[in-house]
């Protein structure tokens, strides 16, 4: 039996079920709540998260991958609190987003890789919760020296542990290609990499190239209209499914239960479709209408996530 680590311990990969591969429980600004605790109502956040996870479960989603890193305010105790209140499995990440603290430029690649490896093999802090995926990122600034450090550290941690890498990209700048090049230099099997936020692009040549080089692409920002409209996202996804690429794509929203960047009211006002239920309620019916088959939907939501985590022991 192949297992994958979750916040509440290992489960069989067969238990993952329909899985959203790029989400967050909570994102926050590291250090802010610690210094201004009046901004942080933990019990209220837990209640919001409990409700949102219950709504997700009712729609048939059984697992989410929480790609919250240290520079996005990863709080493993809070994730544990949510997991204990939820029937949805939460897979936890290690790694660094595109706003790394100074530590990550002051220490070498191997020292940073050791931190990621520790999260995967020993657990995060004193929680005992083991990460099962590595997050890294390239945004509009491209591969800066510190981002190069982090990408190479992620690659070395991947090779040492076998867990997959999942990335954040600036799709308009085709930064997924830069990530793949660095991972390839480091000897990573690109089939162990998910190039995230690829759904922000309608450049089919770029997307096909990422998949042809072996990686899975994340069609994972449904509801964020500022990057690409929903009709365009659906059109691109349906086109790629028609071309036979359903086996190389996963779905998600990049949403959260709570963030210190936007109030719940502001989210509803400015991003009304950016929530955990958008794929279940709106996108899957739109994909079916666009000709995507049920087997392809199952492939992207169930079989691809399971295969990504099962490949660790392959």
Give the model confidence (pLDDT) of 6-34 as tens digits.
999 999 999 999 999 999 999 999 999 99
Which pLDDT tens digit goes with each residue over 227-238?
A: 999 999 999 999
Predicted confidence at residue 65, as pLDDT, reads: 98
Which pLDDT tens digit goes with each residue over 88-113?
A: 999 999 999 999 999 999 999 999 99
Alpha carbon distance 128, 124 (integer Å): 6
Which phi and psi (to 5°) does residue 163 adopt? Answer: -75, 155
Strand partners, 6: 9
**Secondary structure element (H or E) that encloses residue 182, with its range:** helix 175-185
How many structural domains is the chain composed of? 1
Do 154 and 104 touch, CB atoms closer than 8 A? no
Predicted confidence at residue 314, as pLDDT, reads: 43
Looking at the predicted structure, is the pLDDT value of residue 312 above 80? no
The domain spanning residue 147 has which CATH number? Answer: 3.20.20.140
Three-class SS state of 77: helix
**Secondary structure element (H or E) that encloses residue 230, with its range:** helix 230-242
Predicted confidence at residue 1, as pLDDT, reads: 83
Within 10 Å of residue 308's Cβ, how many Cβ atoms? 25
Ramachandran assignment for 217, one of left (phi > 0), alpha (psi -120 to 50 degrees), beta (any other): beta
Predicted confidence at residue 235, as pLDDT, reads: 98
Do 80 and 117 touch, CB atoms closer than 8 A? no
Burial of 64 (0-12, 13-18, 19+ CB in 10 A): buried
pLDDT > 90: what percent of the chain?
A: 99
Alpha carbon distance 103, 149 (integer Å): 11
Contacts of 15 (CB under 8 A, 6+ apart): 62, 89
Buried/exposed 189-227: b ≥16 CB within 10 Å, e otherwise: bbebbbbbbbbbbeeeebbeebbebbbbbbbbbbbbbeb
**Opening angle at CA 216, ends 213 and 273, nearest 5:** 140
Looking at the predicted structure, is the pLDDT value of residue 313 above 90? no
Work out the mean pLDDT of the chain and round it to a whole number.
97
Looking at the predicted structure, is the pLDDT value of residue 198 above 80? yes
Domain coverage including residue 306 = 3-313
Contacts of 195 (CB under 8 A, 6+ apart): 167, 169, 176, 179, 180, 210, 215, 216, 217, 218
Buried/exposed 42-59: b ≥16 CB within 10 Å, e otherwise: eeebbebbbebbebbeee
pTM of the model: 0.97
Q: Which of 213, 209, 233 is nearest to 284 (CA)?
A: 233
The residue written with tokens 């955990």 in the block is 276
Which pLDDT tens digit goes with each residue over 121-167?
A: 999 999 999 999 999 999 999 999 999 999 999 999 999 999 999 99
């Amino acid at each position: 039996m192949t297992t994958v680590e979750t916040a509440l311990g290992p489960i069989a990969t067969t238990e993952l079920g329909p899985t959203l591969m790029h989400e967050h429980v909570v994102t926050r600004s590291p250090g802010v709540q610690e210094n201004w605790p009046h901004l942080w109502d933990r019990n209220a956040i837990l209640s919001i998260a409990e409700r949102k996870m219950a709504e997700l479960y009712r729609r048939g989603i059984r697992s989410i991958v929480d790609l919250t890193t240290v520079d996005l305010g990863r709080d493993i105790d809070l994730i544990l609190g949510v997991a204990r209140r939820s029937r949805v499995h939460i897979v936890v990440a290690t790694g660094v987003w595109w706003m790394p603290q100074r530590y990550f430029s002051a220490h070498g690649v191997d020292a940073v890789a050791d931190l990621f490896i520790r999260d995967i093999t020993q657990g995060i802090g004193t929680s005992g919760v083991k990460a099962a995926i590595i997050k890294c990122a390239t945004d509009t600034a491209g591969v800066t020296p510190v981002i190069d450090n982090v990408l190479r550290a992620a690659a070395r941690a991947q090779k040492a542990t076998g867990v997959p890498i999942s990335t954040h990209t600036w799709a308009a700048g085709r930064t997924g290609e830069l990530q793949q090049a660095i991972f390839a230099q480091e000897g990573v099997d690109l089939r162990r990499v998910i190039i995230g936020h690829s759904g922000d692009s309608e450049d089919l040549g770029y997307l096909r190239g990422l998949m042809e080089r072996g990686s899975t692409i994340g069609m994972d920002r449904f509801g964020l209209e500022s990057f690409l409209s929903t009709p365009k996202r659906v059109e691109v996804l349906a086109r790629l499914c028609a071309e036979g690429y359903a086996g190389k794509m996963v779905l998600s929203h990049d949403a959260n239960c709570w963030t210190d960047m936007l109030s719940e009211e502001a989210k509803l006002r400015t991003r009304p479709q950016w929530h955990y239920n958008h794929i279940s309620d709106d996108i899957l019916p739109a994909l079916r209408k666009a000709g995507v088959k049920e087997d392809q939907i199952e492939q992207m939501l169930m079989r691809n996530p399971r295969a990504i985590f099962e490949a660790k022991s392959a």
